C-alpha cells in the first residue's frame, strides 16, 4: 500500500472511526496507521474504490520490532543487602558473648539461664519466655561454656528478630491478613470471545440439520469441529458464505441466530429464493453432511450492554435475524435493561419467522421487549397491524429521538429506505452512506 495514492475526501463523513483519524494522516504515508488497526476485507474493498494513482520511487516500509527492557530497581537491592549485613553483624557479636558468659558462669555451683541474665545488666530486660530453662548443678568452665553457648544462641535469635523489623519493608504479604477475592468480580463477556471463525480465511463446516420453517425458509444447523467450540462472532455481526456457482465464486452475508453461548454449532435462518444465485442454486440443494465455506465475523455493529437505553427496530422478512440476535442477547442478560420496541413486517402470518421465540422473549421479559407485527394479508381477528410501515406507525410504536435512543433497520431495500426517511422526519439524525455504530439510525 505504500506506493498507492487514495483520495478518501468523499469518505471522510462515512468513516466508522471518525473524520479526525483520516485528517491526521492526510498527505502522508498512512500504511502503518492503516495496518495497525486491523481492517477487514470489506474495508480493503472500499479503499480500492478510492485509488487514484501511485507514488514514484516509493519504497517498502519495514516496521521496527518492539524491544522491551526490564530493569531491576537498585533501591530494592540496597535494602536487602543492608538487612542481611545488619543481622549478620549481630550474629557474629554473639560469639564473644559466649566466652564471657562461660568465665562468669564457671564460678557458680548452680545456675539457670534466666538467673544468669540478671547478672548481665542490659540483657536482664529480655522476656524469660524466650530463654531455655537450662540448669547446671556442677559448675566448671565446660558446663558454663555449654550453657553460655545456648544462651548466646537464644539472645542472638531474639536480637536478630527484633532488629529485622527495622530493616524489613512491609509488603502486602506482611501488612495485611490473607483474604478471599470478592465474588462480584466481573465475568468476561462470552460474546466477545474469539472462536472458530477467521475474518480473512474461509473454513468449511458440515451441515448437521436442515429444517423447513416456512415456504422457502430454512434453518441450517452446521456442526463445529468440537462440542465445546464457539462461533466467535460479536452480537450484531454476520458471516459470509462462499460457493462456486456455474464456475464463478459467489458470496453472501447472513446473521446467525445462534451465538457464543450455543456450543458446538452455527445456526442460520435463510430464505432461499428460487431465482437466487446462491440460495436458489446452492443452499436450497444442500444435504446433511455437505460442507459449506464460512468467513467472519463481518459488519459494523458490535453490540455491548449500555450502548443505549432504548432501541426502536423495524424488520421485514428475513431481516429479523440480526434483530433476533440482539433481542436474545439483551433478554438473556439479567443486567441489561435496554428497552426494545420491534415492528416486524411480513406478507402473511405464516411468513413470520422465529415467532415462537420472539413471543416467548416478549412474555418473559416485558420490560425489555415489545413487539408489533404488520401483515399485508392478515387473517380474520388479527390483533396487530395491516399494511405498510408508515411514519405514523413508527411514531406510535417506537421510542422518539434522543441521545440515548437508536433506530435499527433490516429488510427489503424499499422498506429500509422509506423507514430511514420517516425516522429523519421524526427527528432522528440522518445516517451516512455506510452505516456505523455512532449513527442514530443503523441499518444492517
pLDDT at 396: 96
Question: Which residues are known to be catalytic?
Answer: 238, 254-255, 410
Q: Sign of torsion, CA 42 414 277 49?
A: negative
- Tell me the CATH class for 310-443: alpha beta
Measured in whole angstroms, the distance separating CA 437 from the mean position of its chain's CA atoms is: 18
336 touches 305 (CB < 8 A)? yes
Could you say which DSSP state residue 190 is in?
G
Which residues, in sequence order, are bridge partners of residue 207? 222
Which candidate, 209, 267, 272, 198, places its Cα nearest to that of 232? Answer: 198
* CB atoms closer than 10 angstroms to residue 161: 11
pTM score, whole prediction: 0.58
Q: Sign of torsion, CA 300 304 307 311?
A: positive
140 touches 171 (CB < 8 A)? no
314 touches 389 (CB < 8 A)? yes
Find the mean pLDDT for residues 289-305.
Answer: 90
Measured in whole angstroms, the distance separating CA 283 from the mean position of its chain's CA atoms is: 33
> Residue written as cell 422473549?
361
255 touches 176 (CB < 8 A)? no
Q: What CA–CA distance (Å, rounded) separates 339 from 357?
A: 17
Find the mean pLDDT for residues 74-102.
Answer: 48
Inform me whether the pLDDT recorded for 232 exceeds 80.
yes
301 touches 442 (CB < 8 A)? yes
* CB atoms closer than 10 angstroms to residue 318: 21
Q: What CA–CA distance (Å, rounded) separates 378 from 62?
A: 64
Burial (CB count within 10 angstroms: exposed 0-12, middle 13-18, buried 19+), residue 350 = middle
pLDDT in tens, 166-190: 545 444 433 444 444 344 455 677 7
Helices (H) and strands (E) in the chain, counts: 11, 14
Which residues, in sequence order, are bridge partners of residue 129? none
pLDDT in tens, 355-375: 999 999 999 999 999 999 999
Grid cell for residue 443: 441499518
Inform me whether the pLDDT recorded for 98 exceeds 50.
no
394's CB contacts (< 8 A; 6+ apart) are 312, 314, 343, 419, 422, 423, 426
Maximum C-alpha span of the chain = 121
Find the mean pLDDT for residues 433-440.
Answer: 85
On whether the 192-298 domain is CATH 2.40.30.10, my answer is yes
* Distance in Å from the first CA to the final CA of the chain: 29
pLDDT at 144: 56
Burial 221-258 (b: 16+ CB within 10 A, else e): bbbbeeeebbbbbbbbbbbbbbbeeeeeeeebebbbbb
- Give the pLDDT band of residue 47 (cuts 50, 70, 90): confident
- Give the pLDDT band of residue 21 (cuts 50, 70, 90): low
pLDDT in tens, 197-207: 888 899 999 99
pLDDT at 358: 96
- Give the pLDDT band of residue 86 (cuts 50, 70, 90): very low
pLDDT at 80: 43
Could you say which DSSP state residue 9 is in?
G
CATH architecture of 4-54: Roll (3.10)
Q: What CA–CA distance (Å, rounded) separates 427 from 399?
A: 11
Please indicate whether residue 12 or residue 285 has the higher confidence score (pLDDT).
Answer: 285
pLDDT in tens, 269-292: 999 988 888 999 999 999 999 999
pLDDT in tens, 116-163: 444 444 444 444 444 444 444 445 555 555 555 555 555 555 555 555
Residue set of the binding site: 252, 254, 269, 271, 321
**Where does the chain hold its CATH 3.10.120.10 domain(s)?**
4-54
**Where does the chain hold its CATH 3.40.50.80 domain(s)?**
310-443
Q: Three-state SS for 386? A: strand
Question: Mean pLDDT score of the chain, rounded to an integer?
Answer: 77
**Where does the chain hold its CATH 2.40.30.10 domain(s)?**
192-298
Residue set of the binding site for FAD: 252, 254, 269, 271, 321
Q: What are phi and psi of 242, to 5 degrees?
A: -125, 140
Please indicate whether residue 63 or residue 279 has the higher confidence score (pLDDT).
Answer: 279
pLDDT at 351: 92
Q: Where are the alpha helices (DSSP H) in 107-236?
A: 113-118, 141-167, 172-175
Amino acid at each position: 500500500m505504500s506506493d498507492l495514492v487514495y483520495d478518501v475526501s468523499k469518505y471522510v463523513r462515512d468513516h466508522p472511526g471518525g473524520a479526525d483519524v483520516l485528517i491526521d494522516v492526510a498527505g502522508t504515508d498512512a500504511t502503518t496507521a492503516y495496518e495497525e488497526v486491523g481492517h477487514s476485507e470489506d474495508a480493503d474493498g472500499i479503499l480500492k474504490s478510492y485509488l487514484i494513482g501511485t507514488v514514484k520511487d516509493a519504497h517498502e516500509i519495514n516496521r521496527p520490532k518492539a524491544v522491551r527492557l526490564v530493569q531491576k530497581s537498585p533501591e530494592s537491592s540496597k535494602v536487602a543487602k543492608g538487612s542481611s549485613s545488619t543481622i549478620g553483624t549481630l550474629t557474629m557479636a554473639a560469639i564473644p558473648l559466649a566466652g564471657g558468659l562461660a568465665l562468669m558462669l564457671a564460678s557458680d555451683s548452680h545456675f539457670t539461664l534466666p538467673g544468669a541474665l540478671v547478672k548481665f545488666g542490659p540483657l536482664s530486660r529480655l522476656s524469660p519466655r524466650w530463654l531455655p530453662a537450662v540448669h547446671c548443678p556442677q559448675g566448671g568452665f565446660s558446663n558454663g561454656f555449654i550453657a553460655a553457648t545456648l544462651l548466646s544462641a537464644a539472645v542472638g535469635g531474639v536480637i536478630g528478630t527484633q532488629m529485622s523489623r527495622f530493616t524489613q519493608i512491609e509488603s502486602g504479604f506482611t501488612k495485611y491478613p490473607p483474604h478471599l477475592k470478592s465474588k462480584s468480580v466481573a465475568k468476561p463477556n462470552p460474546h466477545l470471545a474469539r472462536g472458530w471463525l477467521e475474518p480473512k480465511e474461509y473454513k468449511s463446516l458440515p451441515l448437521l440439520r436442515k429444517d423447513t420453517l416456512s415456504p422457502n425458509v430454512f434453518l441450517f444447523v452446521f456442526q463445529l469441529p468440537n462440542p465445546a467450540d464457539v462461533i466467535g462472532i460479536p452480537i450484531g455481526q454476520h458471516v459470509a458464505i462462499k460457493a462456486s456457482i456455474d464456475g464463478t465464486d459467489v458470496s453472501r452475508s447472513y446473521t446467525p441466530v445462534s451465538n457464543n453461548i450455543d456450543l458446538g454449532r452455527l445456526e442460520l435462518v435463510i430464505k432461499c429464493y428460487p431465482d437466487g444465485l446462491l440460495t436458489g442454486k446452492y443452499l436450497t440443494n444442500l444435504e446433511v453432511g455437505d460442507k459449506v465455506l464460512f468467513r467472519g465475523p463481518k459488519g459494523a455493529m458490535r453490540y455491548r450492554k449500555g450502548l443505549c437505553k432504548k432501541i426502536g427496530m423495524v424488520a421485514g422478512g428475513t431481516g429479523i435475524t440480526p434483530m433476533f440476535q440482539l433481542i436474545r442477547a439483551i433478554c438473556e442478560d439479567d443486567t441489561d435493561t435496554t428497552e426494545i420496541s420491534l415492528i416486524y413486517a411480513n406478507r402473511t402470518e405464516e411468513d413470520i419467522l422465529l415467532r415462537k421465540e420472539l413471543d416467548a422473549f416478549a412474555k418473559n421479559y416485558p420490560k425489555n421487549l415489545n413487539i408489533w407485527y404488520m401483515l399485508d394479508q392478515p387473517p380474520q381477528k388479527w390483533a396487530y397491524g395491516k399494511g405498510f410501515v408508515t411514519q405514523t406507525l413508527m411514531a406510535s410504536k417506537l421510542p422518539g429521538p434522543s441521545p440515548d435512543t437508536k433506530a435499527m433497520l433490516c429488510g427489503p431495500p424499499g422498506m429500509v429506505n422509506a423507514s430511514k426517511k420517516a425516522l429523519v422526519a421524526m427527528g432522528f439524525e440522518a445516517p451516512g452512506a455506510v452505516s456505523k455504530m455512532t449513527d442514530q439510525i443503523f441499518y444492517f
